[in-house]
C-alpha cells in the first residue's frame, strides 16, 4: 500500500513539474511573439522563436500527460507495457517537433538567402527519420510474443 502512495505522489509531482515547464514555455512563446512587434527585432525571427518555444511546450506537456496517466492511474502491474506506451507517445511528439523544426529552418534559411546552411535542417530531418525508424524497431522488438 505504501508503494502505491509513493508512486502516485511522485507521478503527480513530476507531472505537475512538467506542466509548469510547459506553461512557462507557452508564456515565453507569447513574450517572443510580442517582441516581434518591436522595431529593433525581425518579426519572422520572433515568430520562429515563439514556434520553437511552443514545440518544447508541446513535448513537455505530452510528457506530463503520459507520466500522469501511466503512473498515477495505472492499476496494471505490467510496467513494461506502460513504459512502451509512454516512450512511444513521447518519441512521437519529439519526431514531429524535429520535422517541423527542420521545415521552419529551411523556410528561414531560404528567406535569408543562406542556402549554404541548408545542410543543418536537412540533418535535423534525417535525424528525425532515423529516430522514427528506431521507434519502429523498438515497437516491433518490444511487442508481446502473442501479438
- CA dist 123 and 109 (Å) reads 14
pLDDT in tens, the chain (147 residues): 557 777 788 888 988 999 999 999 999 999 999 998 887 878 877 888 888 888 889 888 888 887 787 776 656 556 677 778 778 888 888 888 888 888 888 877 777 777 778 888 889 999 999 999 999 999 988 876 545
In whole angstroms, what is the distance from residue 65 CA to residue 140 CA?
A: 24
What whole-number distance in Å separates Cα of residue 98 and Cα of residue 124?
Answer: 6
Amino acid at each position: 500500500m505504501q508503494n502505491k502512495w509513493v508512486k502516485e505522489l511522485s507521478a503527480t509531482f513530476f507531472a505537475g513539474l512538467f506542466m509548469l515547464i510547459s506553461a512557462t514555455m507557452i508564456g515565453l512563446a507569447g513574450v517572443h511573439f510580442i517582441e516581434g512587434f518591436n522595431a529593433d527585432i525581425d518579426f519572422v525571427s520572433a515568430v520562429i522563436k515563439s514556434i520553437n518555444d511552443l514545440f518544447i511546450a508541446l513535448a513537455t506537456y505530452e510528457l506530463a500527460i503520459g507520466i500522469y496517466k501511466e503512473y498515477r492511474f495505472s492499476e496494471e502491474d505490467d510496467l513494461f507495457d506502460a513504459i512502451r506506451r509512454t516512450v512511444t507517445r513521447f518519441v512521437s511528439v519529439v519526431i514531429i517537433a524535429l520535422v517541423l523544426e527542420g521545415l521552419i529552418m529551411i523556410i528561414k534559411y531560404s528567406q535569408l538567402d543562406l542556402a549554404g546552411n541548408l545542410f543543418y535542417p536537412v540533418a535535423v530531418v534525417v535525424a528525425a527519420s532515423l529516430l522514427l525508424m528506431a521507434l519502429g524497431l523498438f515497437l516491433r522488438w518490444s511487442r508481446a510474443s502473442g501479438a
